[in-house]
Chains A and B, each alone.
Chain A
Amino acid sequence: EIVLTQSPATLSLSPGEGATLSCRASQSVGNYLAWYQQKPGQGPRLLIYDVSKRATGIPARFLGSGSGTDFTLTISNLEPEDFAVYYCQHRSNWPLTFGGGTKVEIK
């Protein structure tokens, strides 16, 4: 099973700042990594798939990068609605797994 480790666990930032979220895989997942956003009381929403492809309707301030075992989600110019928990997920092989999440909170 591929273990995805996200860091940091919590990121405290102010609106307008940039956020850099990391996801590290225990073995290569190629380019098969996705990112999700989850707000309190809501289900997750797909942001990015296959490392860098933005899902429909996702603003350009969300940027995914990386390959192999190291991946980054960069959120530029944080908007109030961006404060949430973010998860990464691989689709390299079975079982599919998620990272533990990074909470982006208002400083």
Chain B
Amino acid sequence: QVQLLQSGAEVKKPGASLKVSCKASGYTFTNYGINWVRQAPGQGLEWLGWASTYNGNTNYAQKVQGRLTMTTDTSTDTAYLELTSLRSDDTAVYYCARGGGGIWFGELSWFDPWGQGTLVIVSS
């Protein structure tokens, strides 16, 4: 079945960098983009950005632009999120989510399925 498996929890100090992986299985990786969404403790969902698994194009939320890089590796069907200059308000569960419509519906999509989430704590 379609599955996204994320890397494990991370504890980082302010100013450090973060890299989270998201390994896809059960479908043709290059037919669907990957989005990243985060959820701060007790808060709602915040879209961070989208990466094309086909040509590497990206689109990032303005709030994290400049600190965020999304990449994909088609040899391992894995997507990566890198966030630099971490701050305490980056503490959240980070989710990868497949663009539900795939290449047939364009870049802007709903999210289905979601990874299990990666807890990131930024604390000194």
Contact = CB atoms under 8 A, between A and B. Distances in A.
B11 interface: no
Interface string B89-101: 0000001010011
A34 B37 CA distance: 15
Interface in B107-124: 108-117
B35 interface: yes
B108 A93 contact: yes
A98 B50 CA distance: 15
Interface in A51-78: 55
Contacts of A43: 95, 114-117
Interface in B44-90: 44-47, 50, 59, 61-62
Given A46-B100, A95-B61, A98-B47, 20 more contacts: A34-B110, A43-B114, A43-B117, A44-B45, A44-B95, A44-B97, A46-B110, A46-B113, A49-B100, A49-B101, A55-B100, A91-B109, A94-B108, A95-B59, A96-B35, A96-B50, A96-B108, A98-B44, A98-B45, A100-B44
Given A43-B114, A46-B111, A95 B62 contact: yes
Contacts of A44: 37, 45, 95, 97, 111, 114
The range of chain B's interface size is 20 to 34
Interface of A: 32, 34, 36, 43-46, 49-50, 55, 87, 89, 91-101
Contact of A49 (B37, B44, B62, B110): B110
Give 7 closest A-B pairs by Cβ, nearest first. A34-B110, A46-B112, A49-B110, A91-B108, A43-B114, A98-B45, A96-B47
A87 B44 contact: yes
Contact of A97 (B35, B47, B50, B110): B47
Contacts of A45: 113-114
Contacts of A101: 44-45
